């Protein structure tokens, strides 16, 4: 009997997160305050605990994982690494396809990997309440779970289109004790302003971020949490790649190419960064961020300073962006509908250390259904992007006869996304190429920052 799943004992949960900054050829571009000057830790302390700010700017290669965090990780980690034999057979490819299964967490995605330490550090800092935004609902679920584990209140601003399309994600957050609000709301100045201009606004991640940040900035007992983009979030997610490296070693294999969905970058950074350390040491490995053609941040955006939210309350990051006032089309991979991207992922892409590819929505669902029919698990729409890119590579291997080793991150399951699958089966999904005019127009809305 061939072993198709590599499981690790709980004692193998990593003891340290891996900080990719230590292996980058150039230091990260500074984060700028709205006045254009590098931001100081003091300015961030209104909404973040000091421990997370220190992680945000750290250059240390290894950051210790606190034991109480590892104790909660134990509820589902280490996650399995699985060989997709049945998918390989269906494709008739000589490629070996592996996937890291992050869908086994109680929240159903990789997101709790960062939610748990964020809740822990805030609890340590004496914070009583966490605010956050959520798009697809995966991050909101994760922080609701994590807040519960450390006895913190949680307030989730959920993008209205997702709130309406995914009522059961809301129920899930409520089961873990969180309060969930459809954003934009009238509970904040940012939300009220948007609603005044467009009472039917479907919302966006950018708007929801503005609301959650505003609440945190104005309440001393409340801090803000973010599920992607920031350095410390990607840091926490490296448990995925660290475990996967050990599991690949046990399997006696090593990936030629890694694929992960990329919205804000936590999914991609989580699995890819620990392998980037090998690449920095000379190993031949390709790391591919996969994004939707409808939100082509890396593949078609501008590499520039921009705000993290849509209103302009946050500091400015140098990143690939479609413009902070970008309003994404209503595609079903809600977790990938973000105007910007992680500064670390952006810089690594700009320096050609990692790659990016954009895929069409319908093709991603075709890939997800083939995966479900062969491997059983029904993937999240975000994960379908990685599966699509991985299948395309496996088919290229079939054409060329190359027996490559491919690895992708199955970032979550699709149990709360079945309405999207329904639309796919009914032929109602559309592909949407983001218009070139909008990309050009975004240039004019970017904040004016002199690049040093």
Element (H, E) at 75: none
Residues in the chain: 452
**Which of 14, 28, 108, 241 forms a contact with its own copies (CB under 8 A)?**
108
**Which of 377, 380, 405, 407 forms a contact with its own copies (CB under 8 A)?**
377
Residue 89 vs 186, nearer CB to its own copies: 89
Residue 418 vs 438, nearer CB to its own copies: 418
Window of 20-28, 143-151, 290-298, 305-313 that interacts with its own copies by CB under 8 A: 143-151
- Site track 332-371 with its own copies (rule: CB under 8 A), x = hit: -------------------------------------x--
Phi-psi region of 229 (alpha: psi -120 to 50; beta: other; left: phi over 0): left
Residue among 440, 193, 198, 450 nearest 312 (CA) = 193
Burial 95-112 (b: 16+ CB within 10 A, else e): bbbbbbbbbbbebbbbbb
Tell me the closest approach of the beta carbon of residue 436 to its own copies, in angstroms: 35
Residues 307, 447: contact at Cβ < 8 Å?
Answer: yes
**Which of 23, 50, 66, 76 forms a contact with its own copies (CB under 8 A)?**
76
**Which of 40, 41, 59, 74 forms a contact with its own copies (CB under 8 A)?**
74
Residue 37 touching its own copies (CB under 8 A):
no
- Using CA atoms, how far apart are residues 8 and 82, in angstroms rounded to an integer? 12
Strands 316-321 and 302-307: antiparallel
Residue among 405, 230, 388, 241 nearest 314 (CA) = 230
- Using CA atoms, how far apart are residues 190 and 273, in angstroms rounded to an integer? 35
* Interactions with its own copies, residue window 425-444 (CB under 8 A): 425
* Cα 276 → chain centroid: 17
Phi-psi region of 224 (alpha: psi -120 to 50; beta: other; left: phi over 0): beta
Residue 451 touching its own copies (CB under 8 A):
no
Residues 91, 398: contact at Cβ < 8 Å?
Answer: yes
Residue 178 touching its own copies (CB under 8 A):
no
- Give backbone dihedrals phi and psi of 131, rounded to 5 degrees, phi first: -115, 150
Residue 182 vs 315, nearer CB to its own copies: 182
Residue 227 vs 301, nearer CB to its own copies: 227
Tell me the closest approach of the beta carbon of residue 115 to its own copies, in angstroms: 11
Residue 176 touching its own copies (CB under 8 A):
yes
Residues 380, 103: contact at Cβ < 8 Å?
Answer: yes
Residue 419 touching its own copies (CB under 8 A):
yes
Size of the site for its own copies (CB under 8 A): 46
Tell me the closest approach of the beta carbon of residue 75 to its own copies, in angstroms: 5
**Which of 119, 127, 145, 311 forms a contact with its own copies (CB under 8 A)?**
145
**Which of 189, 193, 283, 373 forms a contact with its own copies (CB under 8 A)?**
373
Residue 372 touching its own copies (CB under 8 A):
yes
Window of 34-42, 172-180, 327-335, 349-357 that interacts with its own copies by CB under 8 A: 172-180
Whether the bond between 78 and the residue before it is cis, its omega within 30 degrees of 0, is: yes
**Which of 30, 177, 182, 315 forms a contact with its own copies (CB under 8 A)?**
177
Residue 418 touching its own copies (CB under 8 A):
yes
Pair of tokens at residue 229: 């983009």
Residue 75 touching its own copies (CB under 8 A):
yes
DSSP secondary structure, 408-425, as one string: EEE-BB-TT-HHHHHHHH
Which residues lie below 8 Å from residue 165, measured CB to CB, with a gap of 6+? Answer: 419, 420
**Which of 422, 430, 438, 445 forms a contact with its own copies (CB under 8 A)?**
422
Residue among 72, 70, 139, 69 nearest 111 (CA) = 139
Residue 172 touching its own copies (CB under 8 A):
yes
Tell me the closest approach of the beta carbon of residue 162 to its own copies, in angstroms: 15
Which residues make up the interface to its own copies (CB under 8 A)? 1, 3-5, 7, 9-11, 13, 67, 70-71, 74-76, 86, 104-108, 145, 148-149, 167-168, 171-172, 174-177, 369, 372-373, 375-378, 415-416, 418-419, 421-422, 425
């Amino acid at each position: 009997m061939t072993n198709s799943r590599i499981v690790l004992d709980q004692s193998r949960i990593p003891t340290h997160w891996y900080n990719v900054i230590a292996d980058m050829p150039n230091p990260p571009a500074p984060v700028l305050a709205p006045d254009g000057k590098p931001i100081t830790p003091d300015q961030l302390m209104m909404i973040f605990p000091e421990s997370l700010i220190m992680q945000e700017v750290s250059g240390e290669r290894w950051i210790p994982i606190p034991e109480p965090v590892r104790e909660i990780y134990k509820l589902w980690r280490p996650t399995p690494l699985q060989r997709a034999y049945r998918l390989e057979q269906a494709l008739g490819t000589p490629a070996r396809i592996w996937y890291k299964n992050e869908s086994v967490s109680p929240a159903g995605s990789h997101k709790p990997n960062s939610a748990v330490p964020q809740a822990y550090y805030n609890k340590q800092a004496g914070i009583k309440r966490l605010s956050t935004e959520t798009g697809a609902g995966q991050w909101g679920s994760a922080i609701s779970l994590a807040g519960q584990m450390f006895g913190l209140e949680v307030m989730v601003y959920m993008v209205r289109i997702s709130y309406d399309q995914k009522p059961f994600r809301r129920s899930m957050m409520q089961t873990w004790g969180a309060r969930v609000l459809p954003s934009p709301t009238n509970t904040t100045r940012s939300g009220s302003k948007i609603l005044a201009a467009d009472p039917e606004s479907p919302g966006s991640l950018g708007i929801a971020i503005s609301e959650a940040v505003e609440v945190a900035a104005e309440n001393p007992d409340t801090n803000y949490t973010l599920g992607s983009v920031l350095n410390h979030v990607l840091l926490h997610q490296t448990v995925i790649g660290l475990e996967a490296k050990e599991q690949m070693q046990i399997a006696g294999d090593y990936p030629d190419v890694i694929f992960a969905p990329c919205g804000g970058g936590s999914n991609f950074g989580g699995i890819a960064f620990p392998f980037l350390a090998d690449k920095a040491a000379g190993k031949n490995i390709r790391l591919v961020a996969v994004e939707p053609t409808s939100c082509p941040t890396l593949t078609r955006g501008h590499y520039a300073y921009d705000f993290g939210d849509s209103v302009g309350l946050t500091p400015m990051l140098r990143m690939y962006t479609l413009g902070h006032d970008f309003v994404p089309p209503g595609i079903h991979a809600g977790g990938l509908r973000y105007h910007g991207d992680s500064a670390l992922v952006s810089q690594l892409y700009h320096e050609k250390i990692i790659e990016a590819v954009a895929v069409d929505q319908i093709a991603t669902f075709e890939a997800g259904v083939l995966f479900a029919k062969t491997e059983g698990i029904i993937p999240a729409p975000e994960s379908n992007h990685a599966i699509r890119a991985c299948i395309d590579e496996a088919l290229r291997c079939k054409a060329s006869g190359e027996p490559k080793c491919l690895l992708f991150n199955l970032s979550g399951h699709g149990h709360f996304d079945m309405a999207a699958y329904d639309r796919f089966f009914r032929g109602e999904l559309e592909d949407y190429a983001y218009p070139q005019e909008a990309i050009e127009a975004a240039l004019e809305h970017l904040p004016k920052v002199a690049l040093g």
